[in-house]
A and B are shown apart, each in its own frame.
With several copies, the nearest count.
Chain A
Amino acid sequence: MIDVLYFAWVREKVGLPKETVDTTATTVSELIAELVERDARYGAAFADQSALLVAVDQELTDFDAPINNAREVAFFPPMTGG
């Protein structure tokens, strides 16, 4: 069980800010593949992965990152703070 969070337009495309996912994925990429199979909304959100960033347990990382022991994975576009 892992918490998956979505922000900005990723949140809008997926249609929710957060969900708990029962998954056997061991990397971020595998998790995305599982989600995309579940529903077209994920297909839309993850269509262009080069437009996305990912954080595992609140640390920016890349799509190959392991998530075996992760509690929380977040997907979002490049940040626009400041």
Chain B
Amino acid sequence: MSVIVQGESFDPGAALTDFSNRIQGAGAMVSFTGFVRDVPAGLLALEIEHYAAMTKRALDDIEQQAISRWHLSGSLIIHRFGSLKPDDIIMMVATAAEHRKAAFEAAEFMMDYLKSRAPFWKKESTRQGDEWVVAKTADEEALKRW
């Protein structure tokens, strides 16, 4: 049960090792890791802005919903902010539950909510200029599953 918001990069494997050592009794563990993808124009930087005072609260809320709905025995959210480059790690979630269905669903739920309800905004910088990433209607639609 931990939520971490940080500027620094991290190794998803090292984070998963730590997490797996804390979830005795679970039958299933799922992790999701998001990376910066390049864009056709050539990405110079991806700037991630966030609303610090609200971020932790929003992520704690998303995590608590997942824990109580899927009876998770463990959960983890790590999200970065600041200036990132292509292939840099952006964020990670991990879940632990008795069975695989719960672990998968809880991880997808956390990702769907994190995309549209956690106060992060991305700006892409290319040689053609800077542009704020526009929220996808598909991401808002994804919430209806839950």
A and B: partners?
yes
User: Residues of A at under 8 Å CB distance from B?
Assistant: 5, 7-9, 11, 55, 58-60, 72, 74, 76-82
Interface residue total, chain B, C-beta cutoff 8 A: 29
Count A-B pairs with CB separation below 8 Å: 72
The proximity string for B residues 11-50 relative to A, scoring 1 for CB distances below 8 Å and 0 otherwise, is 0000000000000000000000010000000000000111
> Which residues of chain B come closer than 8 Å to A79, judged between CB atoms?
115-121, 135
Determine the distance from Cα of A59 to Cα of B54 in the docked complex, in whole angstroms.
7
The proximity string for B residues 84-110 relative to A, scoring 1 for CB distances below 8 Å and 0 otherwise, is 000000110000000010000000000
The answer on a CB contact under 8 Å between B114 and A81 is: yes
User: Residues of B at under 8 Å CB distance from A?
Assistant: 34, 48-51, 53-54, 57-58, 79, 90-91, 100, 111, 114-123, 132-135, 140
| Chain B nearest Cβ from A28, distance in angstroms | 15
> Which residues of chain B come closer than 8 Å to A5, judged between CB atoms?
51
The answer on a CB contact under 8 Å between B114 and A80 is: no
The answer on a CB contact under 8 Å between A80 and B134 is: yes
